[in-house]
Amino acid sequence: MTESGANPAADDEIVTRGHCLCKAVRYEFSGKPRWVMHCHCASCRRAVGSAVATYVGVIAARTRYTGEQPRSHESSPGAFRHFCGTCGTPIAYTGARWPDEIHFYHGTLENPSAWPPTGHAHVVERVDWFEVHDELPRYEALAGKGAKPVRIGPQ
């Protein structure tokens, strides 16, 4: 495994691994993630059963499952939630909106410290009693090209 930031060619050699609770579903991806974000939308909260879901967005062509394939559920048209069929751990999200990406749940990474979050999406749907006290940008909806944060840091 190569440390990130050494040089662009070495970044392609970075391998990140993750798995479900029972380790039946295992995956890996190469290279740096495109982004790492906390999502506060209701759909993502329900998918993980928590106040926030944190994702690592990676290029789908750079990923592979090395254990069992996850099961999938179409949670809304064109949106798929992938999970372990044995232990039920949420593994990833894929959707028609981002056909070349897979969004792995950050909590499934073997080393979550390797890829810290860089922002918050869908903060207008944040539950009132939950606030992350960091100095990351908060976006009303998505944090894509041209999106301006509504604020930096907590309320």
Distance CA 139, CA 1 (A): 33
| Residue 147 pLDDT grade (very low, low, confident, very high; cuts 50, 70, 90) | confident
pLDDT at position 8 over 80: no
pLDDT by residue (tens digit) across 69-84?
999 999 999 999 999 9
In this structure, which CATH number among 2.170.150.70, 1.10.10.10, 2.60.40.1180, 2.30.29.30 belongs to the domain 8-152? 2.170.150.70
**pLDDT recorded at residue 11:** 65
**pLDDT recorded at residue 16:** 98
| Residue 1 pLDDT grade (very low, low, confident, very high; cuts 50, 70, 90) | very low
Distance CA 60, CA 136 (A): 26
Question: Could you tell me the residue ranges of all domains in the chain?
Answer: 8-152
Going by their DSSP bridges, the two strands 79-83 and 71-76 should be labelled as: antiparallel
Q: What mean pLDDT, rounded, does the chain reach?
A: 89
Distance CA 99, CA 129 (A): 34
In the numeric block, the tokens 């050494």 are attached to: 6
In the numeric block, the tokens 């998505």 are attached to: 142
